[in-house]
Structure 1
Amino acid sequence: MVLTLDDIDKNPELISTTDYFEGILINFRPLLLTDEKKLAQFLENLGSQTRKFSTRNGYDLNEARDLCFAINRYDKLRLVALINNETIIALFEFSLSIVDNEYKRFAEKYGIILNEVTDMRFGPCISDHYQNRHFGCWLFEKVKPMCKLMGKERLILWGGVFTHNKRAIRFYEKVGFRIFQDSYMNDGQYECLDGIYYLLQ
C-alpha cells in the first residue's frame, strides 16, 4: 500500500518519529493546522543569511497561515522538527508535482525522464542555531523511509540550489544527492544547480 497525502492527513503518526538529537527530544512530524504560531515564530527567527538563500513569500504569521491552510489541499507535504513538540527548528517541504520546465530541463540537460508517480521535489530549511551541527543529515535519514512509503524512488531539489550557496551544496552532496554542474537561471534570475537523490540505491 502506498501512502497518500490524505492518509497522512488523517493519521500523521504514520510518518512521525520521536528521537533524541544531542540529548534533545525531537518530534519530526507533518505540519498541523494548529502549528500556525509555532511556524510563524520559526520563520520570523530565520536570520538574514538563511533568508538570502530562500524564495519564500514572507517570514511572518501570514506565510505560516498560508502553509497550514495548504495542508492536504494541494500537492504539498510539509514536515516540521520540534523540540519537545513545542518549538519548530526545521521545515522540510515536499511537492508531489513536477513542473513543465523541470521535465524539459532534466530530459534535455541530463537525459533523465522525471515521473510524478515516482519522483518528488524536496526543499529543507533549518533554524540558524541548528545549522552546521549535522542536524539536517540526521533528519534526512528519517525522510528516506517516509518517501519510500509514499512510493517515491527519487527526490529532486525543489527550485534547485543557488550556485553561491556553497553550504547547502555541501549538505546535499553529503547526504547523497548528485549535484549537476550545468547551471540554469531560475524565474527570479538566480543561477542555480539541479540535484537528484536515488532513494533505492
Structure 2
Amino acid sequence: MREIVLKNNSIVNIRLLNKDDAEPLFQYLESLSAESRSRFGPHAFDRETVTNICNNLDHDDGQRFIAVANNRIVAYMLTKRGMLDADAERYAQHNLFFDAATTITYAPSVADDFQNTGLGTKMFTEILQQLKQQSCKTIILWGGVQASNARAVHFYEKHGFEPKGNFWFDEKDNIDMLLNI
C-alpha cells in the first residue's frame, strides 16, 4: 500500500498480509501484552491458526492489513464483508439491520510499543479509503469494544463511530459501535 511516518518519526509500511507473513504475524501476536491480547480476539493466536490464515488468504472473506517497521509487524487489522452472526443478532435487538454487501466488520490491533504514535489513525484512514472505493456504507466493530478500554472508545468516537448499545460478554461490559460512511 504505502509508507507513512508516525509521530515518533518511525517509518511504517502498510500493506496486505501475504502467505509469507505467518511467522512474523505469530511473533506479533505473541509479543502483545496480556492486556492487548485480552482486547483483541477475532481468532486464536496459536501458530497453527496463524499459518492456516496465511495459507488460505485467497479464500478469506475479508482483508488483513499489516504495518511493518524494521521488518517487524507492528499492527494487524482485519476487515470482513458482512457481519458475524452474534454481532447481527445484537444489532437486530436495537432494530438495526444491515446489507451484508455494504457492511464491513473491523478488528484493529497495534503493538504495545506503537500505541499512541498515530499508527492506528493513519492505518484506519488508509483502510477507510479502500472501503469507500469498495462501496462500503457501514463499518461495525468485530465483537464491539470493551467499555473499560477508554483509549479505544475515544479512538472510535474521534473517527465518527457511534455507540449503539452495550452487551455483556466474557465477563466484560462491551459497546457495539458503528460508522456510517
| TM > 0.5 fold call | yes
Equivalent position of 1:17 in the other structure: 2
**1:131 and 2:85 are equivalent in the alignment:** no
Distance between the aligned counterparts of 1:192 and 1:72, measured in 2?
A: 32
Distance between the aligned counterparts of 1:148 and 1:190, measured in 2?
A: 32
Offset of 1:57 from its aligned partner?
A: 4.8
Equivalent position of 1:64 in the other structure: 50
Offset of 1:46 from its aligned partner?
A: 0.5
Of the three residues 17, 22, 29, the one matched with 1:43 is 29
Equivalent position of 2:174 in the other structure: 192
Distance between the aligned counterparts of 2:177 and 2:74, measured in 1?
A: 24
Preserved CA contact (<8 Å) 2:81 2:102: no
Equivalent position of 2:101 in the other structure: 117
Cα-to-partner distance string for 1:82-113 (whole Å, 9 max, x where unaligned): 115x211000111113234433432331x322
Q: What secondary structure is seen at the aligned counterpart in 2 of 1:194?
A: strand
Distance 1:100 1:39, change over 3 A: closer
Preserved CA contact (<8 Å) 1:183 1:194: yes
Cα-to-partner distance string for 1:137-169 (whole Å, 9 max, x where unaligned): 121111111111222111000111112222211
Distance 1:62 1:104, change over 3 A: closer
**1:91 and 2:55 are equivalent in the alignment:** no
Offset of 1:71 from its aligned partner?
A: 0.8
**1:168 and 2:152 are equivalent in the alignment:** yes
Distance between the aligned counterparts of 2:89 and 2:27, measured in 1?
A: 38
Distance between the aligned counterparts of 2:83 and 2:149, measured in 1?
A: 23
Preserved CA contact (<8 Å) 1:38 1:88: yes
Distance between the aligned counterparts of 1:44 and 1:56, measured in 2?
A: 15
Distance between the aligned counterparts of 1:93 and 1:103, measured in 2?
A: 18
Letter in 1 for 2:168: M
Letter in 2 for 1:73: H
TM-score (norm 2): 0.89
Preserved CA contact (<8 Å) 2:77 2:109: yes
Distance between the aligned counterparts of 2:163 and 2:56, measured in 1?
A: 30
**1:183 and 2:151 are equivalent in the alignment:** no
Letter in 2 for 1:170: H
Letter in 2 for 1:174: K
State how many pairs are aligned.
Answer: 180
Query: Can you give the 5+ residue segments of structure 1 that lack an aligned partner in the other structure?
Result: 1-15
Query: Can you give the 5+ residue segments of structure 2 that lack an aligned partner in the other structure?
Result: none
